[in-house]
Amino acid sequence: MEKNISTFKELREACEKTSKLIWEVIQAQEAEFAEVPPEEIRRLVKRSLDAMKESIQSGLKSKEMSISGMCGDDCDRLQKRFNSQSSLFGKTFEKITTYALAVIEENLRMGKIAACPTAGSCAIVPSVLIGVSEDLNVGEDEQINALITAGAIGRIVSNKVALAGAVAGCQAECGVASAMSAGALTQLRGGNVDEILNAVALALKNLLGLTCDPVCGLVEIPCVKRNPFLAVHAVTASELALAGIKSKIPLDEVVDALEQTGNLMSPMLKESSQAGLATTKTALELKERLFK
C-alpha cells in the first residue's frame, strides 16, 4: 500500500481502486504497517470483540452502584421494564438499549470494557454491533469485519480531531462512537462503501455541538444515558443511508466542521464541569453532598 489512509476520500478511492470493502483495505494496511499476517490483526480485533461481549454479560447481571452512588442500576430497571412491557420498536431495540446501559455501567464499576473510542462512549459500538448481530445471526468473522471498519472510522476522524471531551466536547466521544456504529451496522446489513460513509456522515453531522458537561466531574451524568440514546441514533443513520439518503456535505467536510465546532466551544463545556448540566441547581447539590 502506497501510503497511510488519512481521509475518508482516500479510503473511498482505495476501495474503488482495489475493488475491496473498507475492512479489507484497512486490514491489509494494518498488516503491512505492523509487518504481521492479516490473521494477527484479526486476532487482536477479536480480543476487543470478546471484551465487548464480556462487558455486556457482566453488566446485564449486576446492580452494583458506582462509587458515587448516582448510577449503576438503570440497566436492571430497563430489563424489568422490557420483561413486563415490550418496546414499541421491538426486540432489537430492547437489546441495543439494555446492552448499552450494561456496558457503560460496567465501566462505572471499573469493570473490563473496550474503549471504543473512549471509556465514556464505550457502550455505543458494542450495543449496536453485538445486539444486531445476535438478532440477525451474524457470524463472528463478519462481526470482526464490522469492528475493523468501525475502528477505521474512528482513526480517520482522530487524524483531524482528538477524540476527547476535554478537546472537542462529547461530539468527539459519543458522537464519533455513534458514527462508528452507524458505519459498522451499515456494513453488517450489506451496505456498500458509499452507503457506509453516508451513514457515518449522517450520524456525525447531526451530533455537532454536543457538549461535555459531566455532573460532579464524573463520567456518569449524563454520560450513562447518552450511550443508549446515541446507539439508537446510529441505527437511524444506517437506515437512512441504506434507503439511499445521502449526506449533502461530504464526510471529510463534516469532520472539518467537527473540528471547528470543538475549537469554538467554550472550555466551560469541555469536560471542565463549569457550565451546562454540571452547574444546574440539582447538580450543585449533588456535588455538595458527594464531596463535602
Number of neighbours of residue 274 by Cβ within 10 angstroms: 14
Domains detected in the chain: 8-291 (1.10.4100)
Looking up cell 449533588 gives 286
pLDDT, residue 272, reads 97
**Chain mean position to CA 273:** 22
The secondary structure of 114-176 as a DSSP string is: --SS-GGGTTHHHHHHHHHHHHHT--HHHHHHHHHHHHHHHHHHHTTS-S-HHHH-GGGTHHH
**Is the CB of residue 225 less than 8 Å from the CB of residue 174?**
no
Cβ neighbors of 161 (< 8 A, separation 6 or more) are 167, 168, 172, 255, 258, 259, 262
What's the CA gap between 25 and 23, in Å, rounded?
6
pLDDT, residue 2, reads 54
**Is the CB of residue 114 less than 8 Å from the CB of residue 51?**
yes
pLDDT, residue 44, reads 98
pTM of the model: 0.97
Tens-digit pLDDT string for the chain (292 aa):
557 899 999 999 999 999 999 999 999 999 999 999 999 999 999 999 999 999 999 999 999 999 999 999 999 999 999 999 999 999 999 999 999 999 999 999 999 999 999 999 999 999 999 999 999 999 999 999 999 999 999 999 999 999 999 999 999 999 999 999 999 999 999 999 999 999 999 999 999 999 999 999 999 999 999 999 999 999 999 999 999 999 999 999 999 999 999 999 999 999 999 999 999 999 999 999 999 8
- The three-point CA angle 120-160-267 to 5° equals 55
